[in-house]
Amino acid sequence: MRTYWFTEDAYHNLPPQDEYESIRVNLPNSNFDPERGHELYNWYLDMWCMAESYGLDLMNNEHHQTATCMVPAAPLMMSILARETSKARLLLLGNPIANRRNPVRVAEEMAMIDVISKGRLECGFVRGVPYEAAPANRTAHRGSQRMWEAHDMIMKAWTTHDGPFNFEGRWFQGRQINIWPRPYQQPAPPVWITMGGRASTTPVAQHKHVGAVFLAGYPRIREIFDGYREDYLKMHGEHAPFDRLAYLGLVFVGENEAKAREGAEKLLWYMSANKVPGYWSNPPGYHPPHISAQIMKGARGGAGIPLTASLDDQMARGNVFAGTPDQVYEQIKSFWEYSGGFGNMLMMGQAGFVTHEETESSMKLYSEEVFPRLKELEASTTPAEAWEKSKAMKQRDNVPLDGFALEFVR
């Protein structure tokens, strides 16, 4: 079991929510104070370094034109961490390669981070959330297909060592591809892909890549994890190891329940601050028409997260794990067993107004009192046993997501 500590690097010092239409895409950058930005970038880097000191691995990501995430170029942050850290695995989840114009550039950047970090890169690829279509000016149509073609080009670039090759695909072309440097890890850095629904699991399992799921909670986790496990077993004749699956939840551990709730409530800023009008959530071609129609009708967000749900609701759904170390362990154990098991916990441990002291306290309690028990939990069973045990559990459908499913949280 590994735990990747994650913050989305928010710029949270914003005017009241009713004073702007959207936190994404068209929030004017006059709201961004470069002095404050300087502090925040360095603070987030310090937090990742702190996470390494507590024995955790590190995860970062990128978004564009949004105060929810100040990092429009995850490789820049990750390249700093490649130098500033020495032990932690570095998960970049992920490169939005459906929207990137040149996958070869991504292959080069990732190879460079892998070499600087001496082979610590875990390289994620994502299609990108719907609000990325406008900033990228890339059509959302066939985004998944584009992502996989870019993936193929990058894998080929990483694993070709005898001079230039050509790759002439539908969307991406190159005819003298010969990247310098090549990756440190051979044949390639581990690859992670986000999975949003049953339909997305097959190619991930086929490549034996790590399949990561964000905030699907009890309602949807088994559909996705089971899909991956079924595909993996069918294609490879063996059970998917635990380390092929990952789950992202919001985690806050407190020394007592009151402090834990206080911290977790602040962490929920990640969801409550995501004020996005339907038209940014609904670029043409991203959602199938019946989902698109629901968003046009006014259903909130389009991300599928129940953005207004309370902490208790979010905990019941399995999106937030919060409490004392014992409580958090029990909550994650319950979800872990229900889901059939996974080898990577992606811990969103800081968001919004959670302070440095609160972040460190939660991080320390997690790493010292929760994480060791999760490692024991994983070691106590096998993927086949854990899956069987999961199948015997009744579907928890008393915690539906409102509106529509979570296909889209990438």
Contact 148, 203 (CB under 8 A): yes
**Residue 168 interacts with other proteins (CB under 8 A): yes or no:** no
Q: Which of 19, 297, 380, 394 binds other proteins (CB under 8 A)?
A: 297
**Residue 140 interacts with other proteins (CB under 8 A): yes or no:** yes
User: Which one of 80-88, 148-156, 240-248, 286-294 is the stretch in contact with other proteins (CB under 8 A)?
Assistant: 286-294
Q: Which of 141, 161, 236, 391 binds other proteins (CB under 8 A)?
A: 141
* Nearer to other proteins among residue 15 and residue 288 (C-beta): 288
The gap between the terminal CA atoms of the chain, to the nearest Å, is 22
* Nearer to other proteins among residue 125 and residue 280 (C-beta): 280
Q: Which of 296, 355, 368, 376 binds other proteins (CB under 8 A)?
A: 296
Q: Which of 37, 55, 203, 285 binds other proteins (CB under 8 A)?
A: 285
How far is it between the farthest Cα atoms of the chain? 60
- For the chain, helix, strand, coil in percent to 5 are 45, 15, 40
Q: What residues have CB less than 8 Å from 263, skipping those under 6 apart?
A: 252, 254, 322, 354, 358, 362
Rounded to a whole number of angstroms, the minimum distance from the CB of residue 198 to other proteins is 21
Cα 97 to Cα 94, 282, 325, distances in angstroms: 8, 19, 38
**Residue 403 interacts with other proteins (CB under 8 A): yes or no:** no
**Residue 175 interacts with other proteins (CB under 8 A): yes or no:** no
* Nearer to other proteins among residue 270 and residue 280 (C-beta): 280
**Residue 199 interacts with other proteins (CB under 8 A): yes or no:** no
Q: Of 81, 78, 68, give the one whose Cα is nearest residue 129.
A: 68
Element holding 121 (H helix, E strand): strand 121-126
Q: Which of 19, 289, 357, 397 binds other proteins (CB under 8 A)?
A: 289
* Nearer to other proteins among residue 294 and residue 382 (C-beta): 294
**Residue 28 interacts with other proteins (CB under 8 A): yes or no:** no
Contact 359, 349 (CB under 8 A): yes
* Nearer to other proteins among residue 99 and residue 362 (C-beta): 99
State whether residue 232 is helix, strand or coil: helix
State whether residue 215 is helix, strand or coil: coil
Rounded to a whole number of angstroms, the minimum distance from the CB of residue 70 to other proteins is 23
**Residue 283 interacts with other proteins (CB under 8 A): yes or no:** yes
Contact 130, 281 (CB under 8 A): yes
State whether residue 346 is helix, strand or coil: strand
Q: Which of 13, 139, 178, 272 binds other proteins (CB under 8 A)?
A: 139
User: Residues 80-119: x/- map of binding to other proteins (CB under 8 A)?
Assistant: ----------------------------------------
Element holding 361 (H helix, E strand): helix 356-365
**Residue 34 interacts with other proteins (CB under 8 A): yes or no:** no
Q: Of 311, 325, 332, 326, give the one whose Cα is nearest residue 248.
A: 332
Contact 83, 149 (CB under 8 A): no
Cα 319 to Cα 75, 175, 305, 331, 399, distances in angstroms: 27, 45, 9, 10, 11
* Nearer to other proteins among residue 138 and residue 209 (C-beta): 138
**How many residues bind other proteins, per CB under 8 A?**
25
**Residue 290 interacts with other proteins (CB under 8 A): yes or no:** yes
**Residue 278 interacts with other proteins (CB under 8 A): yes or no:** yes
Q: Which residues bind other proteins (CB under 8 A)?
A: 25-26, 134, 137-142, 170-171, 277-280, 283-285, 289-290, 292-293, 296-298
